[in-house]
Structure formats: structure tokens, C-alpha cells
Structure 1
């Protein structure tokens, strides 16, 4: 997993890369304008590239952006040159996709949550805990997969809800940024939308017109 972001106003010329969730106790090591951030188990959770213009001079954006394989290769070469491990893996797959709820059962420790088995690609099914009242087996839904960054900045990591593993988020239209979408309930998509297809705000907004 690789999430890259920049804030040209507050932190010009710095690329922030996340590979794992934050840890309460972190350690940092800086070498050659690259800061490695690790957790208590000494696992890399991210890097700050403090002079990104020297590595990728054409990289200019604000917010979160998908890096190409070629750009990630350049970053890995810089990591190795600085004495770190070049362990970044490009992630060019879409993170808002059409999912199909194959199964939905009541959560054993909640009066409103459901545990779903949701297909997100022809060969991939994940378990997602959903708290929406209108979730049901057989629906096509919007899934924010692990690695997605929501409009308000929340990152979707693997986790647990009330003790049950959940690897993704089944979304309401408003949660992906559709203006004037209903405030409650997940968005149920048309049956002819293909599982794994990328979901865009524009396409969902058109359904609601």
C-alpha cells in the first residue's frame, strides 16, 4: 500500500508517503533529505521526502495523488542511495469500486451493524462491517477499498469494528463527495454495474438526478 500526498502551501517541496497506519510511538531517522518513520516494531510506516523537486521535479500537486510505477522507482532508488530499503510498491489500482454483497449477517456484538462478504473484483472478496440500516445481501454497492483516502482525509486501513475484522468501507454517496446526496444509508448501485469497476463522484451524482 502506498498513499502519497503534498501540501504545497504549508509544506512546499515535501512529499509525504504512508505505507501503514500511524503508531502512537514512532521513531524517525533522516538521511540525505529523506525521513523514515517507523513504528514500535521497527516497521516502516512512511517516508517524508524533504526535497522532492530534486527527485521528481515535475511532481506538482496538492492533496493525495497516485504515483506511477516510474515515479515510485525513482523514490526507491533514492531510498537505497540514502541507505534505506527501497520497499515502496506502486499502487495504481482504483480504490473506489463497485462491490457485490454476497452475504450480510448480523454483527454478534451490535444491534445495527452487519458483517458482509463483499466481492470487489472477479477474484477477490473481502469482509466489511457495515452499520447502514439498508445494507442487504445481493446489492451492488460503492466500496472504498483498503488504501482509499476519503474526501475529508480519512484513510481506509484494515481494522476491526466491535472485534470483527473489516477490510474496507461500504459507502453512502455523500461519503464519497456527492453534493446534496441523502444523509443516511449506503448508495445502492444498478445491477448492471460491473463488480470491480471504478466508481466516480460524477457517475454516482448522475444516478441521483
Structure 2
């Protein structure tokens, strides 16, 4: 689990605590931190540029001569070979003397006879993994948001000034597979209570979920609770920079403003969600059942999966549209033309999820959390938060109500243990009041 130090600071006061000190403290109190990464390490002199003009190089069939505003009054000339370069873009510029990935130094040079005062960069050239670069920019340069200011450092914009704590999560610490869970852990260490921002869920008064979907679960144990919300009139687009950088720092590729919200909520709450294109479901019915031998499903990775009776599947009443808790189906994925989203939030039987992921060699962020156990107290809250964010980022409207099956009450766990046993196991000499205080800080 990659944990953003800056994201943690949204919940806790860490102003007097450095990332390295935090990592050391966490490793000595329960969760091992394998390393602390700083995105900008080894990189320098990399700024925002704006392309004022882009013309074809006279002696090349793929190079372009660009006049770029780098905040120095006069534009500078840079030769660029990216296929997606165009006039009016905010781009990443490595100035002469800059260091990029692999400690490569950028120099003023000539390319086919034309002077190039630096380099217009892709994310990969700033050490971003291929796995997290948005597919739109995988073969070219990355386009920065419109409000980026020429001449300013790109590191804060891309959240490369953040520190990322690489947590080694053991199976018994599923709570630490979420930012909120880690915030409680850190809060307990430093005697702080995490504070989470409120959100508002505004639902349409003139449209209800009954107009869209019904839900049924054939075996209660497979999905003790299964819920669907609908968000209509959405407009699919790129996510804002704050959301993209949170996902990339966590090792997740940004896709679009709907899918990215589901992954953001997965990271914040530890609650896997799935977004269907409602119009591509081909039905007003969702049925959760076991797969039938011989059934097939093409998953989001464009691979055909052969299903068995051990696998829990989400169906449109007739055919599977998703592998429960593992991966969605390609035929109902969110696409650029999506206008109505069906948002799933549920609890699935962990052993079946583990067996399915293993049998198909299809482990995902979702399956890893369902396998270890999710926080059942926030299944509904996570769905509400996601619906609210999707509506905000897409301009859509949340339909009133929830289509659901099952009920799940989060019950506090009680156990009996003596203070002598605690101190004997830990080699400590803490008091009963200290034990109570620690549990209270953990929430």
C-alpha cells in the first residue's frame, strides 16, 4: 500500500513530523514501512511551459519546432518529436542543465539543424511508471491543466513534492489498506483524532431508482449486502489534477472522472466499488448468483474468462456482466459516450473472491481487499461519497434512492483479556487507562 504523506495531512496535523520520522514511528508500533519515496528526487530544473506555436521541422517527418513560454519574457525554441504536441498546450519542460529519469542531463543542442533549448517531457521521463501513465498520454507528452503557470516548477502540480510511504501490509491488517485506516493508526500513535471532510449527497426529487433497476441476490452468504445507485446525465472527461495525482502516487492509472472516483474511494475507505454503463447493461435487473459451468465473460482487460460454480457473478438477469469483487465486464464498462452510471457497493464472500482471483490469475485492488475483509460500517457511506463526487465531477445528477438487497449491521467486537496478559505478551508495563486510551484513539 502506497500512502501519501500529503493526503494523510488532510486528516491529521503532521506539520512537526517529517515523513521519515513518521515511517520510523509506524514501523516500531505495528505496520512496517519498507521505504519512503520522494517523486522529485534526482530531478531538477523542470518547469511548466506553454506552446505558443508548433510547426513541422523542414528536414524531418516527425519532429516539430516549438516556441515555448517558460516564464522568462521571451519564448524559447524547443524541438519536439511527440505526436500529440500542439499549439496552446501547457507542457512539462526540462530546461538546459535539467536532470530527468536515469540522471540524464538535458543540454542545449541542435536537431536536424534547428536549435533546441531543452526538452518537452512525457511522464515517463520524470520517472512515472508506464503502469500509471494515462493511456491518452502513453505514447506522447503529458498535457498539464490550463491553470498551470509557465515558469513554475511542475513538482507541486504533479504531486511529486509528496513523500510516499510504502507499507508492508500483513493479512491481519486489512484496515491499513485504506487512507482512513492508516489515519486512525497514525492518529493513535500521535494522540490525534483524524478529521474527515463532510460531503453532501443531493438526490433528484423527481426521479427514483425504481425507474432504473431492481436487485436480487440468490444466495445471501455470497453478498450479505448489495447496493446500486444511479447517476444520470454525466459527461465523461479527464479527472482534475488533484485526483489523477492521488491515484498515480498510489500506483493506479487514471482512466476518467467516473472510474477514477471509484478508485479514489477504494483508496480512502478501502471499499471496492464498480461503475457500470447503465445503458449497456441491457436490462433493468441486477441478479447476483454463482456462475454456471460453460459461461464466459470478457473482463475489462479484454480477456475471455471461463466461469465456474465457485465464482460469484453479477448478471443482468440473464448473462454475467462482472466478476463480483474481482473485475468488471468489458461490455458494460464506462466509455466516453456513457451518460448514465450504475454504481455498485457491496460485501462479497471473501473465500470465493480469493478462489476466483487465483483461478483466473486476476488479482486486483478490489479482490485483495475483499479477500482480507473490508470495513462493513462504511459500505453505504463510501457509496454515498462516490455518488456525490461523480455528480460533482461529471455534472450529473444522483437519482433518488438505492436499489439494494440484504442488510448488514456492523457490530462492535468484544473480547476478554487481562492486563497481565497484555503486558506479558508485549513486554510492557502499561495501565488499564492507557489501554483504554489507545483503543479510543484507534476509534
What residue in structure 2 maps to residue 195 of structure 1? 150
What residue in structure 2 maps to residue 206 of structure 1? 245
Contact 2:100/2:126, CA 8 A, preserved across alignment: yes
Q: C-alpha displacement at 1:100, in angstroms?
A: 0.4
Q: C-alpha displacement at 1:154, in angstroms?
A: 1.4
Q: Which of 41, 45, 49 is the aligned partner of 1:99? A: 49
Task: Looking at secondary structure, tell me which structure has more strand per residue.
Answer: 1
Q: C-alpha displacement at 1:150, in angstroms?
A: 1.0
Secondary structure of the residue aligned to 2:245 is: helix
* In the alignment, structure 1 residue 129 sits paired with structure 2 residue 79: yes
Secondary structure of the residue aligned to 1:99 is: strand
Structure 1 runs (4+) greater than 2 angstroms displaced: 201-205
Q: C-alpha displacement at 1:124, in angstroms?
A: 3.7
Instruction: Please list the CA deviations of residues 60-107 of structure 1 after superposition, one character each: whole Å capped at 9, or x if unmatched.
Output: xxx958xxxxxxxxxxxxxxxxxxxxxxxxxxxx61100000010000
Secondary structure of the residue aligned to 1:206 is: helix
* In the alignment, structure 1 residue 143 sits paired with structure 2 residue 182: no
Instruction: Please list the CA deviations of residues 168-193 of structure 1 after superposition, one character each: whole Å capped at 9, or x if unmatched.
Output: 10001111112232531101111111
What residue in structure 1 maps to residue 62 of structure 2? 112
Structure 2: give runs of 5+ residues left out of the alignment: 1-40, 161-240, 249-253, 255-443
Contact 2:100/2:125, CA 8 A, preserved across alignment: yes
Distance 1:151 1:145 in 2: 14
Structure 1: give runs of 5+ residues left out of the alignment: 1-62, 66-93
* In the alignment, structure 1 residue 153 sits paired with structure 2 residue 153: no
Q: Relative contact order (alpha carbons < 8 A, sep ≥ 6): 1 or 2 greater?
A: 2
Distance 2:113 2:74 in 1: 23
**CA RMSD, 1 decimal:** 2.2
What residue in structure 2 maps to residue 49 of structure 1? none
Secondary structure of the residue aligned to 1:193 is: coil
Task: Looking at secondary structure, tell me which structure has more helix per residue.
Answer: 2
Q: C-alpha displacement at 1:202, in angstroms?
A: 2.5
